[in-house]
Amino acid sequence: MWTFAKWCLWAIAIFAVLLCVIVLNYGTPDLDRALLTEYYAKAPSRFLDLPNGGRIHYRDYGPADAPPVVLVHGSGASLHSWEGWADSLAPQFRVITLDLPAHGLTGRIPGDDYGISGMTAAIDAIVDATGLERFVLGGNSMGGKMSIAYALQHPQKIAGLILIDSSGYYPEAMPPRSVPLAFTLARTPVLRHLMTWITPRVIIREGLKNVMADKQRVTETLVDRYWHLLLMEGSREAMMEYFATPDVPVDPSRIISYLILWGGKDTLLPLEVGTALAEQIPQSHLLVYEDLGHIPMEEDPQRTAHDAMAFLSSLTDDTSWNQAARAR
**241 is a domain residue:** yes
The DSSP 8-state label assigned to residue 56 in this structure reads E
**205 is a domain residue:** yes
Per-residue confidence in pLDDT tens, the chain, 328 aa: 445 444 444 444 454 444 444 444 456 999 999 999 999 999 999 999 999 899 999 999 999 999 999 999 999 999 999 999 999 999 999 999 999 999 999 999 999 999 999 999 999 999 999 999 999 999 999 999 999 999 999 999 999 999 999 999 988 756 666 655 555 665 666 666 677 778 999 989 999 999 999 999 999 999 999 999 999 999 999 999 998 888 889 988 888 778 999 999 999 999 999 999 999 888 899 999 999 999 999 999 999 999 999 999 998 776 667 655 444 4
Cα-Cα-Cα-Cα torsion 23, 25, 30, 36, nearest 10 degrees, comes to -160
Phi, psi of 69 (to 5 degrees): -130, 130
Question: What would the pLDDT profile of 171-189 be if each residue is shown by its tens digit?
Answer: 875 666 665 555 566 566 6
The predicted structure's pLDDT at residue 22:
47
pTM above 0.75, yes or no: yes
Q: For residues 302 and 88, is the Cβ–Cβ distance under 8 A?
A: yes
The predicted structure's pLDDT at residue 274:
96
**316 is a domain residue:** yes
**212 is a domain residue:** yes
**5 is a domain residue:** no
**48 is a domain residue:** yes
**301 is a domain residue:** yes
Overall domain count for the chain: 1
**21 is a domain residue:** no
Looking only at the bridges linking them, the beta strands covering 68-72 and 135-140 are parallel
Closest CA to 161 of 80, 257, 292: 257
The predicted structure's pLDDT at residue 17:
43
Q: For residues 73 and 103, is the Cβ–Cβ distance under 8 A?
A: yes
* Rounded-to-integer distance, Cα 49 and Cα 52, Å: 8
CA distances from 83 to 63, 93, 139, 301 (A): 16, 14, 14, 8
Q: For residues 263 and 292, is the Cβ–Cβ distance under 8 A?
A: yes
**Structural domain range at position 189:** 33-168+177-322
The predicted structure's pLDDT at residue 46:
98
CATH of the domain at 310: 3.40.50.1820
Residues 6+ apart with CB under 8 A from 242: 75, 101, 102, 114, 186
> CA triplet 69, 49, 195: central angle to 5 degrees?
90
Q: For residues 17 and 24, is the Cβ–Cβ distance under 8 A?
A: no
